[in-house]
Amino acid sequence: MDPNVRPENMERITTPELAEKFIAEQVAAIKAQVKDKKVLLALSGGVDSSVVAALLIKAIGKNLVCVHVNHGLLRKGEPEQVIKVFRDEMDANLIYVDAVDRFLDKLAGVKEPETKRKIIGAEFIRVFEEEARKLKDISFLAQGTIYPDILESKDGVKAHHNVGGLPEDLKFELVEPVKLLFKDEVRVVGKALGLPDNMVYRQPFPGPGLGVRCVGAITRERLEVVREADAILREEFAKNGLQGKVWQYFTIVPDFKSVGVNEKGERTEGYLVVLRAINTRDAMSATVAEIPFALLSHITDRITHEVKGVNRVAFDLTPKPTGTIEWE
C-alpha cells in the first residue's frame, strides 16, 4: 500500500467523534515512529502546522521542538497568538525567532514580486537551518503536508515541501500526520484538539505574508499601514458576521501616494489602502464578494482616521481572471 495514497474506504472526518478516533490513531502512530527521539517543526501558526503541533504535543510533549520564525510579514497579533496558544496554554517547547530586521533588511529596495518571494523563501530556510543546527539531537522533521499538496506534487503542479531546501546533512526523517487529510478534515481535527477558532478557521494566508500586499519595495512605514488596515478589516468582518463566510479578505497598499484634504482643509499626500474580498472554491478562479456599502463606508472611515498616513481607500472589484487574488 502506497503510504501517500488515501485508501478508498477512508471515512471523511466530519464529526468530533471521527476526529477523536483519528487523533488516537495518529498519537499511537507518532509514538511508534519517533519513540523517545526529538522532532523539529516549523510552526507558522497556520492551520496545518498548528494541528500538527497539537497532535505531536499530545503524543510526545516536550520532545517536539517548535520553531516560530517571525519574518516581520505576519498579520497583527499572529506571533503573539502562537506564543500564547502553544507556549502558555499547551506548554510546548517553543523557540521564537525574531528575524524581523533580517528579512526587512534583505528586502530593502527590492521591487520585483518574484524576487521578493525568493528572498523570503530562501531566508526562511536559512533561519530555520540555523536553529536546527543549534539543536543537537533532532532525528525527525514534522511537516503540515495535507492531501492536496500530495496530489498537486504528483500532478506536477507544484513541488511541495513546507520546509524544502534544507541542506543534505540536515535531512531528517519526516513525520506527516495529516498528509492524507483534506483541509476541512484538518479543521475538524484542530477543533477537537482544542485549538482556538480563529486559528482553525483562519483564511488562507500566503507564505510571503504581507510582503506581497505591500506592493513594490517594502518599507517599514507601508508595512505598518497594510498590517493596521488589515487588522481593522478583519475586526469589522468578524463583528459583522462575515468571518468564515467570505473566503479571503485583506488589504493592499500600492507604492505611491495620492493627494487628499484633511478635515482642517489642508492638503495631504497619503497612501491608498485597497480592500479585497473574494470567494472561490479552489483559488484558481474567484468572484468578488458582495459587501454591504454601509460596512465598506464604515471601514473606510476607520482606516482613514485610525491608520497614520492613509488618505484614501478603494475596493477592488476585479474577479480572477483577470486579476489574481493577490496583487503580486
- Please tell me whether residue 207 binds ligand XMP under the rule CB under 6 A: yes
Which residues from 263-292 bind ligand XMP, rule CB under 6 A?
283
Does 61 interact with ligand XMP (rule: CB under 6 A)? Answer: no
319 lies in the binding site for ligand XMP (CB under 6 A): no
In the complex, the smallest distance separating the C-beta of residue 126 from ligand XMP, rounded to whole angstroms, is 18
* Cα distance between residue 53 and residue 163, in whole Å: 15
Residue 196 touching ligand XMP (CB under 6 A) = no
To ligand XMP, the closest distance from the beta carbon of 236 in angstroms equals 20
The residues in 208-247 that bind ligand XMP, with binding defined as CB under 6 A, are 208
Q: Which of 248, 251, 300, 311 binds ligand XMP (CB under 6 A)?
A: 248
Cβ within 8 Å of residue 136, ≥6 positions away: none
Binding status of residue 144 toward ligand XMP by CB under 6 A: no
> In the complex, what is the shortest distance from the CB of residue 325 to ligand XMP, in angstroms, rounded to a whole number?
3
| Closer CB to ligand XMP, 206 or 260, in the complex | 206
Q: Find the shortest distance in angstroms from Cβ 279 to ligand XMP.
A: 11
Q: How far apart are CA 297 and CA 44, in angstroms?
A: 33
Residue 97 phi, psi dihedral angles, 5° rounding: -110, 115
Number of residues that bind ligand XMP (CB under 6 A): 11
How far apart are CB 48 and ligand XMP at their closest, in Å? 11
d(CA 125, CA 102): 13
Cell of 67: 520553531
Q: Which of 37, 76, 102, 117 binds ligand XMP (CB under 6 A)?
A: 117
Q: Considering only the stretches 49-57, 81-89, 99-107, 203-211, report the one whose residues sit in contact with ligand XMP under the rule CB under 6 A.
A: 203-211
Compare residues 38 and 116 and give the one whose CB is closer to ligand XMP. 116
Burial of 36 (0-12, 13-18, 19+ CB in 10 A): exposed
- Considering the complex, state which of residue 38 and residue 213 has its C-beta at the smaller distance from ligand XMP: 213
Displacement of CA 277 from its chain's centroid (Å): 17
Complex with ligand XMP: residue 58 or 187, whichever CB lies closer: 187
Figure out which of the listed residues 16, 204, 244, 292 binds ligand XMP, where binding follows CB under 6 A. 204
φ, ψ (nearest 5 deg) of residue 243: -65, 130
How far is residue 135 from each of residues 99, 138, 167, measured CA to CA in Å?
A: 18, 7, 15
What CA–CA distance (Å, rounded) separates 49 from 141?
12
Shortest Å distance, C-beta 320 to ligand XMP? 5
| 320 lies in the site for ligand XMP, by CB under 6 A | yes
Least gap, CB of 287 to ligand XMP (angstroms): 12
Residues that bind ligand XMP (CB under 6 A): 117, 204, 206-208, 248, 283, 320, 324-326
